[in-house]
Amino acid sequence: MNPRDQKNYLRRHLHDLFGNTVDIERTVEEITSANSIDNQNDYEKIVTNLSKFRGHKKFKDKIRKPECDFIIEDKRIIIEYDERQHFSKARAICLSNYPKDLKTFFDKSIWLKHCNNINAKDNDPIDRDETRAFYDSVRDIEAYRNGWYLIRFYHGEIDWERKDALKYLKSKVAAATKVKIESTRSKARILRLALKTEYDLFNKDKSATKAFNHLAQEIGDNRNYDYLVTPGGFIHFKWADKFLTVVKEQKESQKMIPALKKLADDTIHNFWNTLPTKTKNKLQSKIKFITFGVDSNNKDEDENVIQCIQFVALFDTAKSKVIHWTGKSYPTTYDQKSKLVEFDDLKTHFVKVNKETVCLLGCHDLKIFSPRAKAIAGADRQRKIKEFDKLMKQFKPNLILQHPHNTDTYKIWNTEWKTVEKKYPFVTEYVSGIRHYNYGHKQRGAINSVIDKTILGKVETIIY
């Protein structure tokens, strides 16, 4: 029997059974390998044992939505037709390590038997067997966890040209759909834009615009989010000419904030209003609020930063306006040298919105939770650490959104996030904005590990 012909006959029977509701070779929004990061308990044994098989470990690194052979959306049914290449040692390893509570709508013992008998091998690329087996597992696990019936047929199970083939198909579908299943995956309400490349921070090359275009295209039709988080300094604006003289005292520099805020506000609105209509409409329909990191630097003739400010703005997409402002309050040593205009009012980091309390942090602000920073802090930093701790306990934010500039390894923020989890149990979700590069040097960590370990709770990430 020819596999292509058999698959075509199966397609015809599916059309006889379900009519024109059958889609062919497309993705399902919920079935994504990103869920293997957010739900490691389902995948830990699979990944561990598959990695040990031949030493290949990159099979899981690419976040993707694998295509499914046949989809009947309104019935939440997926049909997969497995040819011989799906029956490999790698696939047997995966099947043997599925979560115990996972129900499959095919007989695993038969699939394991075929894996052992056929023992298919495909080494182009070298980890092709592991990759194919892993994404077959993603289909099985995410289909069930998201309330889909995934029914598998193996090549040779039946001759689909036979007269009783439709009857056979009906019986298989009926048996599967007798079982009541419900989605157990909670959907993320936070979306994060992760950037992988450097770009013109003033958006002269339209890279920031292109990133938002890509983001809008990637958002599924059935997805909605409360927040979209961008990295620190996602867009920049030109320093105000009237502030070219450096103000050395923080008390005096506070007077600069309103004028610089106006420039930052104009920059955000210009960016938003010049987005393609299709992009803007999609984002408005899918996202309630966007956090923008907006920076400005005053530079000398040698392009050295001599003064700067780093805003975080909470933008209401429905109103097309910024509804809350804050900015970096806990400077780095470099920031101190370059005279960061600090946000002395620490209460600005807390905002009540969307029926919850959100804590908005600039890049280095997260270090305010660092045990090491506390141990070596001077008088001014000690004051800020104590005051921020009081405000955390006063406002009890359930969500923290941090806006770092560059994060090429999760270890930069790991201790601080772990401290937050331990010290402030009312924080149930957090996320760091991601720009995954290291100022022209090699990244110290893989982007997947950065994405995985800079969140608490359910967060979806779109990489550009």
Cβ atoms of 189 and 113 closer than 8 Å: no
Answer yes or no: is pLDDT of 17 > 70. Answer: yes
Range from 33-47, 63-77, 258-272 carrying the lowest mean pLDDT: 33-47
Mean pLDDT of the chain: 91
- The residue written with tokens 């419900």 in the block is 182
pLDDT band at 248 (very low <50, low <70, confident <90, very high): low
pLDDT band at 198 (very low <50, low <70, confident <90, very high): confident
CA dist 121 → 88, 95, 118, 268 (Å):
6, 17, 9, 53
Confidence at residue 342, expressed as pLDDT on a 0 to 100 scale: 86
Mean per-residue pLDDT, 235-257: 82
Please list, residue by residue across 218-230, b when 16 or more beta carbons sit within 10 angstroms of its beta carbon and e when fewer do: ebeeebebbbbbb
Answer yes or no: is pLDDT of 272 > 90. Answer: yes
The DSSP output letter for 320 is T
Confidence at residue 441, expressed as pLDDT on a 0 to 100 scale: 67
Contacts of 109 (CB under 8 A, 6+ apart): none
The larger pLDDT score, comparing residue 86 to residue 307, is at 86
The larger pLDDT score, comparing residue 374 to residue 407, is at 374
The larger pLDDT score, comparing residue 36 to residue 292, is at 292
Which stretches within 148-206 are classed as H helix?
165-177
pLDDT band at 261 (very low <50, low <70, confident <90, very high): very high
The larger pLDDT score, comparing residue 439 to residue 262, is at 262
How far apart are alpha carbons 378 and 366 in whole angstroms? 17
Confidence at residue 337, expressed as pLDDT on a 0 to 100 scale: 66
Q: Torsion angle of alpha carbons 287, 288, 293, 295, nearest 10°?
A: 110
Answer yes or no: is pLDDT of 245 > 90. Answer: no
Helix axes 40-54, 128-145, angle to 10 degrees: 170
The H or E element spanning position 22 is: strand 22-26
Cα–Cα nearest to 332, from 370, 290, 359: 370
Coil, strand or helix at 414? helix
Please list, residue by residue across 405-424, b when 16 or more beta carbons sit within 10 angstroms of its beta carbon and e when fewer do: bbbbbbebbebbbebbeeeb
Confidence at residue 376, expressed as pLDDT on a 0 to 100 scale: 85
Answer yes or no: is pLDDT of 439 > 70. Answer: no
pLDDT band at 271 (very low <50, low <70, confident <90, very high): very high
Confidence at residue 374, expressed as pLDDT on a 0 to 100 scale: 84
Answer yes or no: is pLDDT of 110 > 90. Answer: yes
pLDDT band at 438 (very low <50, low <70, confident <90, very high): low
The H or E element spanning position 373 is: helix 371-376
Q: What are phi and psi of 381, to 5 degrees?
A: -70, -40
Handedness of CA 146, 42, 399, 282 (dihedral sign): negative
The domain defined by 190-463 carries CATH number 3.30.43: no
pLDDT band at 451 (very low <50, low <70, confident <90, very high): confident
Q: Tell me the residue type at 84.
A: R
Mean per-residue pLDDT, 229-241: 92
Coil, strand or helix at 277? helix
Cα–Cα nearest to 39, from 101, 89, 91, 88: 101
pLDDT single digits (tens) 173-188 = 999 999 999 888 777 8
The DSSP output letter for 60 is G
pLDDT single digits (tens) 314-364 = 999 999 999 999 999 888 776 666 688 888 899 999 999 999 999 999 988
Answer yes or no: is pLDDT of 373 > 90. Answer: no
Residues forming CATH 3.60.110 domain(s) in the chain: 190-463
Confidence at residue 29, expressed as pLDDT on a 0 to 100 scale: 80
pTM of the model: 0.65
pLDDT single digits (tens) 69-105 = 999 999 999 999 999 999 999 999 999 999 999 999 9
Q: Tell me the residue type at 180.
A: K
Residues in the chain: 464
